[in-house]
């Protein structure tokens, strides 16, 4: 048997071979493998990256909303090198300085009685571990999750996920997941409607038998499905309902933890402490794969009597933990969380002005440095239907393309334009992004028969 792949013979081939090799030999997440030639990134620093054609982009998505410290932060790169010289790997049952330091940092940073961490390789594994722990400690099997959610692509995490990416993997094999609606109505939001309030959860529990429910899991602020910020009192009401029935509350902060909302953790904004908090991405800005499942003291004490019902070869990988310790220190020294709050306010003010100028911008939603612009038609409804066809999605795609052609890297989910820059973003970079968005939104205005 011979391989069809060939390595470049010399550097004289330039960079073209990189994209070809990726297209032909790398399987890319969530896309048809017959798609266009991928962009080859040849340089990146701070909030910017450059492709092989010399095009420079302001990364207003932080890649996968994980590079909170931006690209190639020199202190974090050096810290990873230092950790590699000290300890590249030791098994998860051994004590290791980087692992223990990170556990202490998380104990100090997280609110309430959250105290002990199981370290994973990312957010999906963190959520899988959270569910396994909740089931083991409560002795119950059902889990309630929301429709507009994304908890990861592993089998268990995808079962929790309500995002349509789940459809292609069904039937999924993890039993006991029940869904609830989110506190959001497309095109607006209607927190007063009981169908979209915490009361909806209690109604579901009556049908499902609350004594069979181990946990309720929800993103504190929804991420890839377009930011959904819980209305006032929502999370507290969910917390009270969970307490009433002995159900664990799991808050998924894989995307919004570590400063994204302008506080270290999103739950600080809502004065709620979950039983379990999951996080990843911003914990070390994605420089080394890492996630964490952080449990309260009551769960830690219960796990002293029963075995932890999960495990990973790379749980608490020293390179990952060392990078996270360094990332947290950098965030403290450089006041990154404070910058996220300040620049988030600046971004919100600018987006509010865009809504006033663009008929297709029906509104914005978000906190800190994660925002969505709702594109709407002349009737005020979403401009692009849920799971719309490529033709129906064309106006949103045109906005994204116009922004990228002008050097701004943004995203879109159905009718929502997604924005999530690195937390080290400057005021000047915020203003540049807003000016490009101002030009790009004209394409959506034209689609609804309106002009600026």
Which two three-digit tokens encode residue 188? 């607006």
Residue 283 per-residue DSSP state:
G
441 touches 415 (CB < 8 A): no
DSSP three-state, residue 253: strand
Instruction: Indicate the pTM of the whole model.
Output: 0.95
Backbone angles phi, psi at 87, to 5 degrees: -160, 115
- Give 332's strand partners: none
**One-character DSSP codes across 262-288:** SSSSGGGGTT---SEEEE-GGGTTTSS
Span 63-101, pLDDT tens digits: 999 999 999 999 999 999 999 999 999 999 999 999 999
Both structure tokens of 109: 């940073």
* Token pair listed for 190: 């209607």
A 10 A CB-CB count for 209 gives: 11
**Burial class of residue 36, CB neighbours in 10 A (0-12, 13-18, 19+):** exposed
The tokens describing 112, both together, are: 């309430």
User: pLDDT at position 449, please?
Assistant: 77
Distance CA 174, CA 261 (A): 32
Q: Which residues contact 229 (CB under 8 A, 6 or more apart)?
A: 221, 365, 366, 367
Which two structure tokens, joined as six digits, stand for 68?
A: 């909170």
Token couple for 149: 């959610």
| Residue segments in the chain with a per-residue pLDDT below the cut of 70 | 1-13, 186-195, 450-452
372 contacts 359 by C-beta, under 8 angstroms: no
Q: Which pair of tokens denotes residue 424? A: 């080290």
Cis, bond preceding 53 (omega within 30 deg of 0): no
Residue with tokens 């070869």: 313
DSSP-based three-state secondary structure for 117: strand
CB-based contacts of 362: which residues, under 8 Å, 6+ apart? 187, 188, 355, 374, 375, 376, 380
Opening angle at CA 381, ends 379 and 384, nearest 5: 120
């Amino acid at each position: 048997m011979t391989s069809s792949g060939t390595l470049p013979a010399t550097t004289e081939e330039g960079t073209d071979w990189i994209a070809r090799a990726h297209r032909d030999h790398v399987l890319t997440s969530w896309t048809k493998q017959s798609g266009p030639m991928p962009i080859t990134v040849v340089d990146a620093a701070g909030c910017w990256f450059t492709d092989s054609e010399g095009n420079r982009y302001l990364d207003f998505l932080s890649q996968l909303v994980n590079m909170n410290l931006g690209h190639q932060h020199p202190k974090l790169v050096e810290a990873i090198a230092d950790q590699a010289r000290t300890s590249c790997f030791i098994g998860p049952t051994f004590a290791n300085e980087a692992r223990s330091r990170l556990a202490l940092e998380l104990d100090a940073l997280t609110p309430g009685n959250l105290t002990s961490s199981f370290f994973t390789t990312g957010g999906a594994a963190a959520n899988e571990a959270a569910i396994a722990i909740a089931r083991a400690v409560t002795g119950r099997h059902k889990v309630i999750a929301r429709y507009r959610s994304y908890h990861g692509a592993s089998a268990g995490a995808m079962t929790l996920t309500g995002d349509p990416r789940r459809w292609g993997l069904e039937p999924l094999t993890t039993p006991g997941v029940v869904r609830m609606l989110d506190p959001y109505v497309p095109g607006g939001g209607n927190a007063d409607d009981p169908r979209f309030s915490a009361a909806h959860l209690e109604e579901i529990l009556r049908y499902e038998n609350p004594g069979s429910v181990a946990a309720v899991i929800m993103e504190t602020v929804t991420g890839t499905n377009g930011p959904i910020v819980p209305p006032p009192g929502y999370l507290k009401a969910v917390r009270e309902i969970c307490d009433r029935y002995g159900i664990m509350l799991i808050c998924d902060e894989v995307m919004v933890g570590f400063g994204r909302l302008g506080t270290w953790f999103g739950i600080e904004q809502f004065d709620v402490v979950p039983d379990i908090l999951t996080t990843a991405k911003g914990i070390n800005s994605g420089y080394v794969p890492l996630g964490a499942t952080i449990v309260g003291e009551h769960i830690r004490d219960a796990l002293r009597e029963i075995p932890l019902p999960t495990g990973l070869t790379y749980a608490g990988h020293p390179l990952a933990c060392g990078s996270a310790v360094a990332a947290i220190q950098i965030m403290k020294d450089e006041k990154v969380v404070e910058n996220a709050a300040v620049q988030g306010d600046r971004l919100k003010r600018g987006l509010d002005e865009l809504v006033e100028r663009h008929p297709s911008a029906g509104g914005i939603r978000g906190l800190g440095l994660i925002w969505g612009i709702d594109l709407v038609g002349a009737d005020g409804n979403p401009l692009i239907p849920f799971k719309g066809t490529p033709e129906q999605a064309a106006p949103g795609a045109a906005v994204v393309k116009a922004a990228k052609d002008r050097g701004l890297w943004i995203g879109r989910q159905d009718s929502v334009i997604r924005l999530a820059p690195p937390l080290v973003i400057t005021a000047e970079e915020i203003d540049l992004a807003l000016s490009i968005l101002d030009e790009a939104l004209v394409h959506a205005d034209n689609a609804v028969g309106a002009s600026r």
